[in-house]
Chain A
Amino acid sequence: DIQMTQSPSSLSASVGDRVTITCRASQSISSYLNWYQQKPGKAPKLLIYAASSLQSGVPSRFSGSGSGTDFTLTISSLQPEDFATYYCQQSYSTLLTFGQGTRLEIK
């Protein structure tokens, strides 16, 4: 299986900060990488697909980049509603895998 490793595991930031979360695949996955946001007690929500395509309705402060093995999710200016856990997920293989998650907390 393809292993997905996110860093950091947790992150403290302030409203207005620019934040970057990294996801690394154990082998090249081209741009078959998706990002999800999950708030406590809620289902995950798709943010970014195909590494850099913004899902409809998602604010433009979210962006994704990368290809091959290294990917990033960037939030350009943190808003109060962005404090959540973020997961990357590969779809290169028919056996999908998620990263372990990055918890974004208020500083």
Chain B
Amino acid sequence: QVQLVQSGSELKKPGASVKVSCKASGYTFTSYAMNWVRQAPGQGLEWMGWINTNTGNPTYAQGFTGRFVFSLDTSVSTAYLQISSLKAEDTAVYYCARVYKDIVATINGNYYYYYMDVWGKGTTVTVSS
């Protein structure tokens, strides 16, 4: 079945780095982009950005540039999120989510709808001294 399996919880000290993995199975990895979503304790969902699994080209949301890097290893169908210079406020659950592209054809042309149809279970990153 289609699933995303994320790496386990991490406890890091401020200033350290962490790399979270998201391994896809049950589908062709390069056919769907991958989103990353952050959820701080007791807070809502925050979209971090996405990576094109065909080209490896990442797009980052405002507030997630500089210390955050999305990458891929297509040979093992895995997406990665690396966070450097960790701060206490990076403490959160990080989710990967597959981006499904739905194409609706009309007489006026094609419309493309994107949504996150498969999610990993999340990786908890705790930053504490």
Interface size class of A (residues with CB under 8 A): 20 to 34
Most A CB within 10 A of own CB, among B59, B97, B102, B116:
B116
- Once the chains bind, are A46 and B113 in contact (CB under 8 Å)? no
- State whether the Cβ of B10 lies closer than 8 Å to any Cβ in chain A: no
- State whether the Cβ of A22 lies closer than 8 Å to any Cβ in chain B: no
B interface list, Cβ under 8 A from A:
35, 37, 44-47, 50, 59, 61-62, 95, 97, 100, 102, 104, 113-117, 119-122
Main secondary structure of the interface of A (DSSP, over half): loop
Tell me which of B35, B102, B119 contacts A50 (CB under 8 A). Answer: B102
**A14 → B minimal CB distance (Å):** 25
Tell me which of B45, B104, B115, B122 contacts A98 (CB under 8 A). Answer: B45
- State whether the Cβ of A44 lies closer than 8 Å to any Cβ in chain B: yes
| Residues of chain A lying within 8 A (CB to CB) of residue B37 | 44
- State whether the Cβ of A71 lies closer than 8 Å to any Cβ in chain B: no
Tell me which of B46, B61, B122 contacts A43 (CB under 8 A). Answer: B122
- Once the chains bind, are A91 and B113 in contact (CB under 8 Å)? yes
Tell me which of A1, A46, A50 contacts B117 (CB under 8 A). Answer: A46
- Once the chains bind, are A87 and B44 in contact (CB under 8 Å)? yes
- Once the chains bind, are B115 and A91 in contact (CB under 8 Å)? yes
| Residues of chain A lying within 8 A (CB to CB) of residue B114 | 32, 91
- Once the chains bind, are A44 and B47 in contact (CB under 8 Å)? no
- Once the chains bind, are B44 and A32 in contact (CB under 8 Å)? no
**A2 → B minimal CB distance (Å):** 11
Q: A34-B115, A91-B113 are contacts. A101–B45 as well, Cβ < 8 Å?
A: yes
